[in-house]
């Protein structure tokens, strides 16, 4: 088990790709803190893991609120004494609907603010909250989830500039933080998934785009599923990546080669 007894916080871990990270880390022996606004789903997932012999607990968390992110860090340290891993997965896109057909200059400004608050500020707040503890304990791993859409500018004819812009900002923050935190043995890296089909209910048109549009440019001609991302996340969370920082690993079946 590559993450045995490591303490990992995973935001947005109750559903979709986040749920895959939670299950994958648990199988590798990590104690997982599932931080999500969908507390019922998070609590059910934690119970399922605990019933199987793992160790997880849920926290009702809005990452766009700094006090909530401070609470995650404080509660985790109170219970377990440390924070080894942070996975910043929480984001607005699939489960929380945003506009996808409106040009960037016509998107409502309040929707820009909403997406920025979760997708960028949420990552910043979580990092700010855990870094003091990671510094004091002598190291840690931070994994920020960006998107392959940053490299392509979008998927097919869809338009969601606010989402893409925030995912680019996450890459910038990751690189800057990696420079600053390296002397404390804190690794900061990104995973950029391609368009991934989850179990979450979406309208048929969106599902069709997720399945068909990426296949045209993808080297591996199949659908991407959340499970395809677990190996990369475990690698970045484990000691295998101790000399890797400031990097963005694109996991999309060879659609983007950057």
Average pLDDT score, the chain: 92
pTM, entire model: 0.94
In a domain, 24, yes or no: yes
pLDDT for the residue 96: 59
CB atoms within 10 A of CB 183: 8
Percent of the chain at pLDDT > 90 equals: 78
In a domain, 257, yes or no: no
Residue 210 has pLDDT above 70, yes or no: no
Residue 167 has pLDDT above 90, yes or no: yes
* pLDDT (tens digit per residue) in 55-73: 999 999 999 999 999 999 9
Beta bridge partners of 248: 190
The C-alpha atoms of residue 92 and residue 113 are separated, in whole angstroms, by 11
The reply to whether 163 belongs to the active site is yes
Residue 239 has pLDDT above 70, yes or no: yes
* pLDDT (tens digit per residue) in 20-40: 999 999 999 999 999 999 999
In a domain, 213, yes or no: yes
In a domain, 45, yes or no: yes
Q: What is the pLDDT confidence band of residue 217, given thresholds at 50, 70 and 90?
A: confident
Tokens at 15, concatenated = 């559903």
In a domain, 129, yes or no: yes
Beta bridge partners of 55: 31
Domain ranges, residue 233: 7-251
Residue 109 has pLDDT above 90, yes or no: yes
pLDDT for the residue 150: 93
Residues 31, 8 contacting (CB under 8 angstroms): yes
Query: Does residue 202 or residue 69 have the better pLDDT?
Result: 69
pLDDT for the residue 131: 98
* pLDDT (tens digit per residue) in 86-102: 999 999 975 556 766 78
Distance from the Cα of residue 103 to its chain's centroid: 26
47: domain CATH number? 3.40.50.720
pLDDT for the residue 201: 46
In a domain, 1, yes or no: no
In a domain, 211, yes or no: yes
Q: What is the pLDDT confidence band of residue 157, given thresholds at 50, 70 and 90?
A: low
- Domains in the chain: how many in total? 1
User: Sign (positive/negative) of CA torsion 220, 225, 231, 233?
Assistant: positive
Shortest CA distance to 111 belongs to which of 119, 61, 187? 119
Q: Catalytic residue among 163, 184, 225, 235, which?
A: 163
SS (H, E, C) the chain: CCCCCCEEEEECCCCHHHHHHHHHHHHCCCEEEEEECCHHHHHHHHHHHHHCCCEEEEEECCCCCHHHHHHHHHHHHHHHCCCCEEEECCCCCCCCCCCCECCHHHCCHHHHHHHHHHHCHHHHHHHHHHHHHHHHHCCEEEEEECCCHHHHCCCCCCECHHHHHHHHHHHHHHHHHHHHHHHHCEEEEEEEECCECCCCCCCHHHHHHHHHHHHHCCCCCCCECHHHHHHHHHHHHCHHHCCCCCCEEEECCCCCCC
Q: What is the pLDDT confidence band of residue 160, given thresholds at 50, 70 and 90?
A: confident
In a domain, 88, yes or no: yes
């Amino acid at each position: 088990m590559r993450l045995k007894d490591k303490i990992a916080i995973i935001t947005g871990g109750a559903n979709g790709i986040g749920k895959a990270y939670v299950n994958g880390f648990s199988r590798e022996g990590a104690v997982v803190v599932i931080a999500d606004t969908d507390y019922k789903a998070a609590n059910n997932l934690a119970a399922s893991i605990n019933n199987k012999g793992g160790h997880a607990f849920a926290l009702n968390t809005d990452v766009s609120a700094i006090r909530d992110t401070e609470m995650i860090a404080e509660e985790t340290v109170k219970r377990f004494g440390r924070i080894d891993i942070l996975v910043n997965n929480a984001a607005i896109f699939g489960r929380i609907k945003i506009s996808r057909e409106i040009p960037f200059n016509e998107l409502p400004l309040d929707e820009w603010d909403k997406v920025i608050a979760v997708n960028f500020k949420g990552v910043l707040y979580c990092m700010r909250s855990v870094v003091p503890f990671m510094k004091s304990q002598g190291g840690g791993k931070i994994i920020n989830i960006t998107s392959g859409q940053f490299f392509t500018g979008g998927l097919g004819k869809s338009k969601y500039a606010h989402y893409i812009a925030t995912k680019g900002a996450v890459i910038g923050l990751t690189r800057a933080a990696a420079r600053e935190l390296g002397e404390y043995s804190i690794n900061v890296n990104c995973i950029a998934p391609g368009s991934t089909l989850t179990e979450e209910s979406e309208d048929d048109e969106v599902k069709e785009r997720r399945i068909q549009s990426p296949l045209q440019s993808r080297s591996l001609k199949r659908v991407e599923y959340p499970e395809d991302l677990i190996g990369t996340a475990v690698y970045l969370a484990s000691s295998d990546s101790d000399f890797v920082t400031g990097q963005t690993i694109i996991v999309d079946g060879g659609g983007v080669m950057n």
